[in-house]
Chains A and B, each alone.
Chain A
Amino acid sequence: DQQVKQNSPSLSVQEGRISILNCDYTNSMFDYFLWYKKYPAEGPTFLISISSIKDKNEDGRFTVFLNKSAKHLSLHIVPSQPGDSAVYFCAASDTGNQFYFGTGTSLTVIP
């Protein structure tokens, strides 16, 4: 059974607006959460992470929010740029090594 879920397969956003990508998980033991970005024919690349002791982590245009009680995290991209168009995966782990990935959300930023 999928322990990490991304329920929106795709998202389209106008350039300059905010992109919000969502991720839900079922295992309350998960302590580490990461977001990866993937372009076609390439491997995923690390974007941003958060641990369970925090509820927000920010890096430039990217912010990740964690709501442990709801078992929910989200990635905010502000402002969105055409180069952000990619598939975004969230991943979670309780050990820091075995990560469980969501199914991905394909983001399209429209110029």
Chain B
Amino acid sequence: DAGITQSPRHKVTETGTPVTLRCHQTENHRYMYWYRQDPGHGLRLIHYSYGVKDTDKGEVSDGYSVSRSKTEDFLLTLESATSSQTSVYFCATQSGNGGNQPQHFGDGTRLSIL
């Protein structure tokens, strides 16, 4: 949807290791988002970006950092992964500001921290 590619699609790693997830879009959308989906919680916003080098925190940002050096790429980094960060991560994009602009989602990255 909306030309969104997440990589990797699956990853298994160990506690304490750094992990970077990549989101790439081809639609030139201004806004990009990282969510995590966990049972009993739905999707929760981690960080979002409203332009190149412009980012802000979401409701569950602790332990995560992001970077956006180009319009098309939004990286999510776990500096030192913990088991509580085992989750399915979704990237989303949005063309403009406003509730009538829906977010378009990638197909997710399943991350397991052992």
Contacts and interface: CB of A to CB of B under 8 A. Distances in A.
A97 B31 contact: yes
Interface residues of A, number: 28
A32 B50 CA distance: 18
Contacts of B40: 103
Given A101-B42, A101-B43, A103-B41, A43 B1 contact: yes
Interface residues of B, number: 29
Nearest to A47: B102
Contacts, number: 67
Interface string A55-94: 0000000000000000000000000000000000101010
Nearest to A32: B99
A46 B104 contact: yes
Given A31-B99, A104-B42, A97 B50 contact: yes
B103 A99 contact: yes
Interface of A: 2, 4, 6, 31-34, 36, 41-46, 49, 51, 89, 91, 93, 96-104
